[in-house]
Amino acid sequence: MGSGVLTPEQQRLVLETAMQLMSSHSPSEITLEQLTHACGVTAFDIVRHYHSKENILAALLERELELIAGAVASPELRFPSETLQDELQVLAKIMLQEYRNRVPFLGNLLGEAMRNPEIGALFYRKFILQGRLLFTEFLNVRKRRGELRDDVDVEAAAALFLAALTGILLIVELFGGKQVEPLDEERVVREMSDILLRGIVNS
């Protein structure tokens, strides 16, 4: 490959393999040799395309967010009989499931982020902030429709809701919570949606 750019299929192989490896190892433990052996793309081509492990991680985080965004229905697809509360609860359940599917990966990445501030900043910038933007847009569409109060700080509401939702899941999944008490997702989603809507919806 004279251009120094991996094909889309090679990029998919590299990122899917990196995801698998990072679900069982912290990023610092993964070697280029492990990655190239597992995905079948040469080390030379991987380095020439991505230049660093951090760039692979950044591309992987962007890819995972795209997959999460793809699982969320368009704002225009709400049924006429559905309320904003119905829609918000569906979205929250989808987000919880998407995060749960990535718990091993997120757990290892969070552990690495605590040891390496640069990885922490990358994770925050590429996953937390960008994920928040997805939900911010969800709320902005409803604000433009007049469903939310004019004075609502949409970004702050999105940040608080997602932080609480994902925080509960990660604490239960990563810190032994599920061995102590079951996570009643229906109740969590319902009550958190109620709390959010009480603060932002037009009365």
* pLDDT (tens digit per residue) in 160-175: 998 888 888 888 888 8
Fold category of 58-200 in CATH: Tetracycline Repressor; domain 2 (1.10.357)
pLDDT at 84 over 60: yes
Sign of CA dihedral 30, 105, 124, 60: positive
CB 16 within 8 A of CB 44: no
- Indicate the range of 59-68, 117-126, 131-140 predicted with least confidence: 131-140
The residues spanned by each domain of the chain are: 1-51, 58-200
Instruction: In whole angstroms, give the CA distance from residue 141 to residue 87.
Output: 13
* pLDDT (tens digit per residue) in 90-129: 888 888 888 889 999 999 999 999 999 999 999 999 888 8
Q: What is the pLDDT of residue 203?
A: 66
pTM of this structure: 0.83
166 versus 1: which is more confidently predicted? 166
Class of domain 1-51: mainly alpha
Instruction: In whole angstroms, give the CA distance from residue 165 to residue 189.
Output: 8
Q: Which residues contact 73 (CB under 8 A, 6 or more apart)?
A: 90
Q: Give residue 68's pLDDT band: very low, low, confident or very high (50, 70, 90).
A: confident
pLDDT at 49 over 50: yes
* pLDDT (tens digit per residue) in 11-41: 999 999 999 999 999 999 999 999 999 999 9
Instruction: In whole angstroms, give the CA distance from residue 18 to residue 58.
Output: 11
Classify residue 183 as left (phi > 0), alpha (psi -120 to 50) or beta.
beta
Q: What is the pLDDT of residue 180?
A: 79
Which residues share a beta bridge with 201? 148
Q: Give residue 149's pLDDT band: very low, low, confident or very high (50, 70, 90).
A: very high
HEC assignment per residue over 133-149: HHHHHHHHHHHHCCCEC
Q: What is the pLDDT of residue 88?
A: 86
